[in-house]
Structure 1
Amino acid sequence: MIHYLFKKLLIAIPLLFIVSFLTFVLVHLSPHDPAKLILQAQEVPEITEGLLEQTRKDFGLDQPLIVQYFQWLLSCLKLDFGESYVNGLPVWKILGPAFINTLKLTFVSSVAIMVSSVLLGVLCAFKEGKWIDKSIRGSMFFLTAMPSYLLASLLVWYVSVRLDLLPTSGMTGFQSYFLPVLVITISYAGIYFRNVRSSMLANMNEDYVLYARASGLSEGKVLLYVLKNSLQVTISIFGMAIPIILGSTVVVENVFAWPGLGSLSIKAILGRDFPIIQAYVLIVATFFVVFNTLSDVVNVAMNPKLRKEL
């Protein structure tokens, strides 16, 4: 197990270096001079050659690219992502509160997705081919195919405007979570519950289920065994759900005016605030790498067969 964990770290660390480098060169991929982009973001009325030279010196843009990268990387390890091009504030001071707000939304949504996916998957597996199975799969397929911005807009119009039950936007309390979480849950639970259902059906046809029932075990205990073995297959999917949700809250946050990373990233893109964009991309990419590694490790810890193959 320790050998496997060490091997996964050997893969994850170089991958994080590659991700960080690609994130850093994001600003240099633009055909425009980075110094000019900084001055344009600051709305400087007249950009002169002398001002460009001074800006390059102030932001270290006159140094070789590899030197700039390692300086930026060392600063990022200290959670220092530089200063905003627009207002000159430290990026983490702007990004930190938005990151916490998005993490809250992601955590609540992930729990809702996992619980609803397992419940719907188990129910459909035990009612395979019956009307309830077909109804749930059909309705979830329809809702999953619906664009999240359209579903969010319909819910705002009906629940918040017409029925006046929940706030339309902002982060004002517990009620503010309901609609954004509902939209995210519908969008992803409709995908993940099918994996749970398929895994449940595959395990229910295994010989150990027949032997367990023949031994006189109750249906409740049989269900727990089947569910445990089924979740071993879907643990990787659930593990990757968290970074996927974290990186895909842009639409939902903008519809509901949620003060998170999604809303902040759109403003940064429109304002060409590259330090914030770089920090956002790096955080989301790091979450993908870390959770992918963790899901693999958890899978190995839960499955004795995988441990024997190491």
Structure 2
Amino acid sequence: MAFGAFATAEPVAAPTPRKKSRIALFLLLPGILYLLVFFLAPLLSLVLTSLQTPSAIGDIGAYDYAFQWQNYLTVMELYWPNIIRSFGYATAATIAALLISYPLAYFIGVNLRRFPLLQSLALTLVIAPFFISFLLRTLAWKQILSDEGWLVSSLQTFSLLPPDAQLTGTPFSVIFGLTYNFIPFMTLPIYTSLERLDLRFVEAGSDLYASPWTTFRTVTIPLSMPGILSGTLLTFIPAAGDYINASRDFLGSVDTAMIGNVIEANFLVLQNYPAAAALSLLLMAAILVLVSFYVRRSGTEDLL
């Protein structure tokens, strides 16, 4: 009887694909609404603003919606030096941050792997700058690099700087500020890749009579490439649009103004909202093209 009862029992019906798709859509709905409200809507507003034309009233800051696509050509003609300067500074800062962060991340992720307490302490020191405001850190470096600061005075005392030389307001100070402020963004992704590195691959390279440099170049760097890619993107993208380090109130001057400073001036001071919006969209498009080219050249398209 029991066998017959089990034999005649009907199997439980599996959820239909349509029901699964509805559940998935319901779970994705909050994220979709968030993107619509906080990403697509502002982006659409930015596009419409970039195409505006000055109002017939003639008041400062008054514009009418139109299809003034010439705004893009105008801002490119006026501000192309700032655009080139921004990407040049961002590239230099990214390279400098990589040269500093990779040895640091390797030391923390590989050499300190056997000492968890020291490893945690070193990671805390890397993250510690995040506990202080970005503005305060930059202001502190403005004081250190100022003409009256101890650093410039010491360099001039030892004849390492000319008597009339200065550090603030120069490309060096801007790139230095970008590098310093974004080093944690470079170090942490590389550390994550190196901390998961299987050291048996490195030992295998030594067993095959490869030199330490060959092992590092052919084993360690390729295995840590995901961290390098993430770190360079996390550093380059915000550095290209930064407007604090290059500002005259911090480490920069008029001659070091980046595209972020121009956008800030057009939006807050000149109230030229179409120009500011057009520059913002051009900056996003340029970063998207450069990042896509970089990802394809690095052969890591599957990481994004």
Tell me the TM-score normalised to structure 2 length.
Answer: 0.66
Q: How does 1:148-227 map to 2 (within 5 A)?
A: 148-160=134-146, 161-163=148-150, 165=152, 167=166, 169-170=168-169, 176-205=170-199, 207-224=200-217, 225-227=219-221
Q: CA RMSD in A?
A: 3.6
Distance 1:19 1:97 in 2: 27
Distance 1:292 1:162 in 2: 38
What is the DSSP-based 3-state SS (H/G/I as helix, E as strand, rest coil) of the residue aligned with 2:235? helix
Q: How does 1:1-80 map to 2 (within 5 A)?
A: 22-26=45-49, 35=55, 39-41=59-61, 65=66, 68=67, 72=69, 75=70, 80=73
CA gap 1:136/1:184 in 2 versus in 1, 3 angstroms: farther
Query: 2:182 is matched by which residue type in structure 1?
Result: Y
Q: Is the 8 A contact 1:140 1:190 kept in 2?
A: yes
Percent identical residues: 11
**Alpha-carbon shift at residue 268 of structure 1 (Å):** 0.8
Q: Is the 8 A contact 1:268 1:277 kept in 2?
A: yes
Query: 1:104 is matched by which residue type in structure 2?
Result: G
Query: 1:202 is matched by which residue type in structure 2?
Result: R
Hey, what does 2:274 align to over in structure 1? 275
Distance 1:40 1:109 in 2: 37
Q: Is the 8 A contact 2:186 2:234 kept in 1?
A: no
In the TM superposition, what whole-angstrom CA distance separates every residue of 1:6-54 from its partner, at most 9, and x where no partner exists?
Answer: xxxxxxxxxxxx998653313689xxx9616863249xxxxxxxxxxxx
Query: 1:277 is matched by which residue type in structure 2?
Result: A
CA gap 1:27/1:221 in 2 versus in 1, 3 angstroms: closer
Distance 1:288 1:103 in 2: 9
- When you count helix as a share of all residues, which structure comes out higher? 1
Are positions 1:291 and 2:279 aligned together? no
Query: 1:203 is matched by which residue type in structure 2?
Result: L
CA gap 1:243/1:302 in 2 versus in 1, 3 angstroms: closer
Distance 1:296 1:179 in 2: 29
CA gap 1:285/1:95 in 2 versus in 1, 3 angstroms: same
CA gap 1:155/1:20 in 2 versus in 1, 3 angstroms: closer
Distance 1:219 1:282 in 2: 46
Match for residue 139 of structure 1 among 96, 117, 125: 125
Match for residue 117 of structure 1 among 52, 77, 101: 101
Query: 2:267 is matched by which residue type in structure 1?
Result: I
Hey, what does 1:230 align to over in structure 2? 224
Aligned length in residues: 242
Query: 1:25 is matched by which residue type in structure 2?
Result: L
Match for residue 235 of structure 2 among 226, 234, 241: 241
Hey, what does 1:92 align to over in structure 2? 76
In the TM superposition, what whole-angstrom CA distance separates every residue of 1:221-262 from its partner, at most 9, and x where no partner exists?
Answer: 332211222124432441453232111x11112222332222
Distance 2:275 2:297 in 1: 33
Q: Is the 8 A contact 1:152 1:180 kept in 2?
A: no
Unaligned 5+ residue runs, structure 2? Answer: 1-40, 153-164
What is the DSSP-based 3-state SS (H/G/I as helix, E as strand, rest coil) of the residue aligned with 1:40? coil
Hey, what does 2:245 align to over in structure 1? 252
CA gap 1:95/1:182 in 2 versus in 1, 3 angstroms: same
Distance 1:163 1:112 in 2: 24
In the TM superposition, what whole-angstrom CA distance separates every residue of 1:180-199 from its partner, at most 9, and x where no partner exists?
Answer: 22222122211221211221
CA gap 1:41/1:226 in 2 versus in 1, 3 angstroms: same
In the TM superposition, what whole-angstrom CA distance separates every residue of 1:272-306 from its partner, at most 9, and x where no partner exists?
Answer: 1123202221122113322342243234x369xx6
**Alpha-carbon shift at residue 153 of structure 1 (Å):** 1.0
Hey, what does 1:10 align to over in structure 2? none
Hey, what does 2:34 align to over in structure 1? none
Superposition misfits of 4+ residues, deviation over 6 angstroms: none
Unaligned 5+ residue runs, structure 1? Answer: 1-17, 43-54, 81-89, 171-175
CA gap 1:28/1:101 in 2 versus in 1, 3 angstroms: closer
Hey, what does 1:84 align to over in structure 2? none
Distance 2:244 2:189 in 1: 25
CA gap 1:216/1:209 in 2 versus in 1, 3 angstroms: same
**Rg bigger for which structure?**
2
Q: Is the 8 A contact 2:202 2:220 kept in 1?
A: yes
Tell me the TM-score normalised to structure 1 length.
Answer: 0.64
In the TM superposition, what whole-angstrom CA distance separates every residue of 1:52-89 from its partner, at most 9, and x where no partner exists?
Answer: xxx96xxxx5xxx5xx1xx61xx47xx61xxxxxxxxx
Match for residue 108 of structure 1 among 74, 92, 115: 92
